[in-house]
Amino acid sequence: MLRGVAWCSAAVLLSAMHARAQTCPVPTGGNSALAALDARERIDFLRHNADDQARYAHNWKWAWVGIGSATFTGSAAITLGWALGRDPVVRTANVVDNAVVTSFSILTPIVGLLAAPRIRAPAMDELLRQTGDGAAGSCLVLARMEELFVRDAADEAFTTSWLSQLAGFLVLGSLFSILATEAATASNRQVRDAHWFNAILDTSAGLVLTELQIFSQPAGSVHTYKRYLKGDLPPKKTSTVFSVMPNVGGLAVRVSF
């Protein structure tokens, strides 16, 4: 009698565990470790990472819009300063060079607006809202979220590909060519030196700014999806909490994470 009760209890427990845990098919490239994970764990992982990446992409876009706008304004101010200067020999050369640089600097905020990948975290959030947080058809919801995440990763892979580097080099090459041509055709030595100085300085500064913009572009979805396919889902990070507590002789700082 007792043995029968034990077997029945074990069966009920196993059934309850099976009801709570649900495995789903894996996308192309996924391995057995991913297939063994609970669908709920996979859904939560994709949602949290999409939200984090969407936040980074938003911050990256508006940060570079701000940096580009400041660069454009600074270049325009320098151009105006040379135009109001009293040096008649190199004034025209510097006005022309800085006007060219100003026209090129407008590309930085434009790239910030256009190159920021579209992260589909809002679409995932809406999907989960409509399906009771994924409870209505977990595998279908998971498949749709994986599809959205793949598209995010593809967008990021494109914006961080060699095409970005090529476009940057072409723009900087054009800038240097214009200023170098001004230097090569100048008859006055001071004017020629001013053009060469501007060509080297402004192109170098543009190279640093361009590389920073390219290498800081959002690319987290690409790396995260590769880990996801391997079933490498690290636990969600918990926030660090600092608190001050009374202690013998004073106060103590407590850190929990």
Asked if 117 and 57 touch (Cβ cutoff 8 Å), the reply is yes
Mean pLDDT on 217-234: 92
Asked if 126 and 27 touch (Cβ cutoff 8 Å), the reply is no
> 6 or 38, which is more confident?
38
In the chain, what are the domain boundaries?
A: 31-235
Please classify residue 103 by burial: count the beta carbons closer than 10 Å to its beta carbon, then call 0-12 exposed, 13-18 middle and 19+ buried. middle
Which pLDDT band holds residue 117 (cuts at 50, 70, 90)?
Answer: confident
Write down the pLDDT at residue 253: 43
DSSP per residue, 110-121: HHHHHHS----H
Which residues are CB-contacts of 50 (< 8 A; sequence separation ≥ 6)?
Answer: 119, 120, 121, 124, 145, 148, 149, 152, 221
For residue 194, give Cα distances in angstroms to 29, 178, 206, 207: 57, 14, 18, 20
| Per-residue pLDDT tens digits for 128-164 | 999 998 887 889 999 999 999 999 999 999 988 999 9
Mean pLDDT on 5-10: 38
> 2 or 40, which is more confident?
40
End-to-end alpha carbon distance in the chain: 49
pTM score: 0.77
Mean pLDDT on 64-84: 94
> 86 or 98, which is more confident?
98
Measure the CA–CA gap between 206 and 45, rounded to whole angstroms.
38
State the DSSP code for 187. -
Nearest Cα neighbor of 195 from 55, 113, 91, 77 is 91
